[in-house]
């Protein structure tokens, strides 16, 4: 809003078109139906002779693991002890399996939890250091063993991120490893592996991808490359998420969402996010709200908050999501309702008494500092109250 008068009590961070940026993506990406059939050949390409699969019990129960194993040569060991909210303890166990098996490659299969856990385990196994020693920015000083990521949800984009988000039982907090070295060597995006995803999980993970794109686009740390990725990801989600939820076997919709999830993280990997994630992460940690649902609670409230400060940018993104939408927050709310994400924070037993520690953690997040409109404790509390 350069040259415009901001509404009273609205503080905007400076945004400059000349901000220097450093964009890097070391991950090769293969996508399309039957992409998984290329897995065996890709292992040969990367010189992997003794791989291990890291996944969770749900992927095994859904039959996805069996599909993947048919495309691997010989008998490949499987570690499926990753929980839906991966802990540092389970990552240590996976790292032990990698080390003791002298595995020269890791195949990570699943949603964001197995993928993040596998990235962290590969780093811990290769460096020989405890997982908690790697928490923080750029603590991984040795390139981990070759990792191939096979996402089975369209939400986190973990297959192309430098982050591994884990739960530390001792501190009862989320911790994050951040390093370009943990990024997979290869991502295989096969929509046929996502057709069995339930509607609710499709919706929740889709909203996580939407938040990545929206928050990256709005971030004051964005850049011309991330902006282009973010806009396209929002357009893909507006086009495909409803269909993926309502017609789960629709391959074009499933491929569109896999692409959107990946592209949204190609944007967010270099920009950080915003207030929706700053609040959703501690909400999930403290109240066991699935991450995509926590994000869906906070995203329209953040959009409404930011629209007061940057209406033109938000309107541009609204047109990507829903041509003809009057506002970004309206378009996000409409999509959220259409895909059945109708709960409120109170449905997860979150009350006013719980707001203070959540806000305290959000204030310490880089995601809060990346948000274009400045938010303090009072503003963050108001956002939680609006979502309650």
**Per-residue confidence at 4, pLDDT binned at 50, 70, 90?**
low
Q: What tens digit of pLDDT does each residue of 226-261 get? A: 999 999 999 999 999 999 999 999 999 999 999 999
Q: What is residue 2's predicted lDDT score, i.e. its pLDDT?
A: 43
The string of pLDDT tens digits covering residues 16-64 is 777 788 888 899 999 999 999 999 999 999 999 999 999 999 999 999 9
Query: What is the distance between the alpha carbons of residues 108 and 68, in angstroms, rounded to a whole number?
Result: 11
The conformation of residue 56, written as its DSSP 8-state character, comes to B
pLDDT tens digit string along 90-111? 999 999 999 999 999 999 999 9
Q: Taking residues 220-228, what's their average pLDDT?
A: 94
The pLDDT assigned to 210 comes to: 98
State the residue for tokens 């939890």: 113
Please give the average per-residue pLDDT across 191-196, as a whole number: 95
As beta bridge partners, residue 186 has 28, 148
Domain ranges in the chain?
A: 35-189, 199-387
- Which tens digits make up the pLDDT trace of 296-351? 999 999 999 999 999 999 999 999 999 989 999 999 999 999 999 999 999 999 99
Closest CA to 117 of 160, 140, 88, 155: 88
CATH topology of domain 35-189: Rossmann fold (3.40.50)
**pTM given for the model:** 0.92
199-387 CATH: 1.20.1090.10
pLDDT tier, 5 (very low <50, low <70, confident <90, very high otherwise): low
């Amino acid at each position: 809003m350069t040259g415009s008068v901001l509404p009273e009590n609205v503080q905007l961070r400076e945004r400059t078109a000349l901000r220097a940026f450093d964009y890097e993506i070391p991950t090769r990406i293969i996508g399309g139906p039957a992409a998984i059939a290329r897995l065996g050949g890709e292992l040969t390409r990367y010189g992997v002779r003794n791989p291990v699969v890291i996944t969770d019990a749900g992927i095994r129960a859904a039959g996805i693991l069996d599909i993947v194993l048919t495309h691997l040569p010989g008998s490949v060991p499987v570690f499926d002890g990753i929980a839906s909210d991966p802990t540092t303890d389970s990552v240590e166990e996976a790292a032990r399996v990698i080390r003791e098996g002298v595995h020269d490659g890791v195949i990570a299969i699943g949603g964001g939890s197995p993928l993040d856990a596998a990235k962290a385990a590969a780093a811990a196994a290769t460096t020989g250091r405890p997982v908690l020693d790697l928490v923080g920015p750029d603590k991984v000083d040795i390139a981990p063993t070759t990792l191939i990521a096979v996402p089975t949800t369209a939400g986190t984009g973990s297959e192309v991120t430098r982050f591994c988000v884990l739960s530390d039982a001792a501190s009862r907090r989320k911790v994050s490893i951040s390093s370009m070295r943990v990024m997979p060597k290869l991502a295989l995006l096969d929509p046929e592996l996502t057709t069995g995803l339930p509607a609710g999980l499709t919706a929740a993970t889709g909203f996580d991808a939407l938040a990545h794109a929206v928050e990256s686009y709005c971030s004051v740390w964005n850049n011309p490359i991330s902006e282009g990725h973010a806009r396209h990801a929002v357009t893909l989600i507006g086009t495909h998420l409803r269909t993926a939820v309502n017609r789960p076997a629709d391959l074009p919709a499933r491929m569109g969402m896999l692409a959107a999830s990946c592209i949204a993280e190609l944007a967010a990997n270099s920009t950080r996010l915003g207030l929706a994630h700053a609040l959703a992460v501690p909400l999930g940690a403290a109240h066991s709200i699935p991450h995509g649902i926590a994000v869906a609670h906070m995203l329209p409230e953040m959009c409404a908050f930011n629209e007061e400060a940057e209406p033109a940018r938000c309107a541009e993104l609204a047109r990507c999501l829903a041509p003809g939408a009057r506002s970004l927050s309206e378009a996000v709310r409409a999509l959220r309702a259409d895909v059945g994400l109708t709960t409120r924070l109170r449905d997860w037993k979150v009350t006013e008494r719980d707001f203070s520690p959540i806000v305290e953690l959000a204030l310490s997040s880089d995601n809060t500092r990346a948000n274009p409109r400045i938010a303090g404790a009072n503003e963050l509390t108001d956002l939680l109250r609006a979502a309650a």
